[in-house]
């Protein structure tokens, strides 16, 4: 589905009834990466997935990318869909968006689920690397990113089996979207000081074999947010919700059950 809000188009799906869960994808994916969660949860929950600007069915639009803009887009979509407070689930870059959302719109959160993500900003070298990648994408398209990233997304033991699938999940990435997201990630704020102010019940999930964002980052987040629960899933890399979907869904469900959701 698509909707136009304040002159911009956002792709999304909104399925099922019950407590609302909103899923925000990582880089350079789109909302279809959450298909295993949608399938498992739409019988018991309202499940909303959204394409960040420049991915899936959401055009990039103009101007530099920023986490604030991504978070505002999610917020505007939830207003449009008239959702009550939501459980917001963000993977990796989607986790940066979720942390920005928690900062700007804390009253909208019923819960927060941070998956394979980190709270700190890019190092200087990391941001410079993103800027160099932007130039490569301008010159040669998105393959420079997707071909480098796809093999790193899952645990080594899953790579041969899942590589085609993972590449397929990156198929809608466009140069404008990838460049906007790289700008947003390079310029993102340090969310670490704000972690202690998060009041929403929080679940932090990481793949034990995540080599893109190390599990130690999740540990740090879980230690900094009062009452947060940390789950480290075995045999899983960065794309943990897709790679170990059943276990991921089990962990998410049992956490929600404890919250009465
Ligand atoms: C992602 O999976 O969203 C990205 O790898 C995050 C990042 O590059 O910082």
Q: What is the DSSP string of 113-171?
A: EEES--SS---HHHHHHHHHHHHHHHHH-THHHHHHHGGGSS-GGGHHHHHHHHHHHTT
Atom 9 of ligand 1 has which residue's CA nearest to it? 93
- 3-class SS at 218? helix
The pLDDT value recorded for residue 64 is 80
SS3 for 67-122 is HHHHHHHHHHHHHHCCCCCEEEEEECHHHHHHHHHHHHCHHHEEEEEEECCCCCCC
Tell me the CA–centroid distance for residue 43 and ligand 1, in Å: 30
Say what the pLDDT of residue 106 is.
Answer: 98
Distance CA 112, CA 98 (A): 8
Query: Atom 1, ligand 1: which residue's CA is nearest?
Result: 27
pLDDT at residue 180, as a whole number: 96
Q: Using a 6 Å cutoff on CB, does residue 212 contact ligand 1?
A: yes
Answer yes or no: are the C-beta atoms of 210 and 237 closer than 8 Å. yes
Residue 92 Cβ contacting ligand 1 at under 6 Å: yes
User: Using one digit for the tens of pLDDT, what is the confidence trace for 135-161?
Assistant: 999 999 999 999 999 999 999 999 999
Atom of ligand 1 nearest to the CA of 92: 3
231 C-alpha to ligand 1 centroid (Å): 19
Query: What are 54-85's pLDDT values in tens digits?
Result: 999 999 988 788 999 999 999 999 999 999 99
| CA 61 – ligand 1 centroid, Å | 21
Supply the pLDDT for residue 160: 93
- Cut 0.95: pTM above it: yes
C-beta 29 within 6 A of ligand 1: no
Nearest to 28 by CA among 237, 174, 246: 174
Indicate whether residue 158 lines ligand 1 (CB < 6 A): no
The stretches in the chain having pLDDT less than 70 are: none
- pLDDT attached to residue 65: 86
């Amino acid at each position: 589905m698509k909707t136009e809000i304040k002159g911009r188009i956002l792709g999304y799906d909104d399925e099922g009834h019950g407590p609302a869960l909103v899923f925000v994808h990582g880089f350079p994916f789109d909302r279809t990466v959450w298909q295993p969660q949608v399938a498992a949860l739409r019988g018991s929950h309202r499940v909303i997935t959204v394409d960040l600007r420049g991915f899936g069915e959401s055009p990039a639009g103009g101007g530099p990318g920023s986490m604030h803009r991504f978070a505002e887009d999610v917020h505007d979509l939830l207003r449009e869909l008239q959702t009550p407070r939501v459980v917001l689930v963000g993977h990796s870059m989607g986790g940066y968006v979720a942390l920005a959302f928690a900062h700007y719109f804390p009253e909208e959160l019923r819960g927060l689920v941070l998956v394979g993500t980190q709270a700190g900003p890019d190092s200087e070298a990391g941001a410079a690397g993103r800027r160099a990648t932007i130039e490569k994408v301008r010159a040669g398209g998105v393959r420079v990113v997707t071909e480098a990233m796809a093999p790193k997304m899952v645990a080594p033991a899953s790579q041969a089996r899942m590589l085609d699938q993972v590449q397929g999940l990156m198929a809608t990435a466009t140069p404008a979207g990838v460049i906007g997201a790289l700008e947003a990630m390079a310029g993102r704020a340090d969310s670490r000081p704000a972690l202690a102010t998060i009041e929403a019940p929080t679940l932090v999930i990481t793949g034990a074999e995540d080599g893109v964002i190390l599990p130690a980052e999740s540990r740090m987040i879980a230690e900094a947010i009062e009452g947060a629960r940390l789950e480290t899933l075995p045999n899983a890399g960065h794309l943990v919700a897709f790679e170990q979907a059943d276990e991921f869904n089990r962990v998410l469900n049992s956490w929600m059950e404890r919250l009465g959701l």
